[in-house]
Structure 1
């Protein structure tokens, strides 16, 4: 596939705003592990190889066990590999990424409240929305693995 456009040149202010979201997310109280799980799982659901490549590598650099990454697509069936908190994050990630299917269900939201404050849930929602934004830019522009967006 041929790259369609250079997003940085075509939409520099949009890219700046996206980087601003990443800056905000770097300061939230959600763990690095949870943030990477969000990024990987949403990217898997959207079929974004570019983002899967970056975020699996980042997760491993941050100490994530590769087995957990391998099992991420089947996290519900993976037993105790993922904590209750991580399962809540993953459920939020899937329902928000696939919002057109059922929306964010009351059951998932209530489960998340058992682990997170409303502020933290808002931050998780922002993290999910942000990676979905990156996925859409990468897929729309046909950015190849190894190329730079910024």
Structure 2
């Protein structure tokens, strides 16, 4: 059991960390290596700040604690503000923290990740197309699809959050 001291000098006991169900990267190393290459290809040419924002938002929606841990730490290490990261879960209400381009990317991220209507609405896609040239838009869509795949690996295998250090997998 992990313990920590809080500001009132009381010791708090945290729930024990759950063990991963499967270490899929070791069990399926070719798939892991292919995912790493796909990830590199997807992000090429995309603004790194936009890439991290969409990765964090998709990971929030998919409830992937491991990816949230990783991408918030990477974003902070790259100079992203705590305020913009913490407001991501309410980005529509906190639009003033983001550029129009970032808002279009976040809307597209939600549409691709959730697919509640079974498709990405034309207006969401068209809004993104107004802010991203075709090649960059293709990279954005690729980055969103790839983080959703990573999230599914993380959630399914119960990848454990809290141990990632920025740059650990580069």
Same fold (TM over 0.5): yes
1:99 to 80, 91, 115: 115
The residue aligned with 1:24 is 41
TM-score, reference length from structure 1: 0.91
Query: Aligned residues, how many?
Result: 149
TM-score, reference length from structure 2: 0.81
In 2, the alpha carbon distance for the partners of 1:57 and 1:147 equals 11
Mark the structure with the bigger radius of gyration. 2
* Cα shift readout 1:115-145 (whole Å, capped 9, x = no counterpart): 1122221111110111111111111111112
Please state which structure has a larger fraction of its residues in helix: 1
Contact residue 43 and residue 140 of structure 2 kept, 8 A? no
The residue aligned with 1:88 is 104
Consecutive unaligned residues in structure 2, runs of 5 or more:
1-17
- What is the CA-CA distance between 1:76 and the residue it aligns to? 0.9
**1:11 and 2:28 matched:** yes
Contact residue 112 and residue 120 of structure 2 kept, 8 A? yes
* Cα shift readout 1:25-69 (whole Å, capped 9, x = no counterpart): 3422x2110000011000000001111111111111111111011
In 2, the alpha carbon distance for the partners of 1:76 and 1:103 equals 20
Please list, as runs of the form range in 1=range in 2, the aligned pairs for 1:119-130 lying within 5 A after superposition.
119-130=135-146
Q: RMSD of the TM alignment (CA)?
A: 1.8
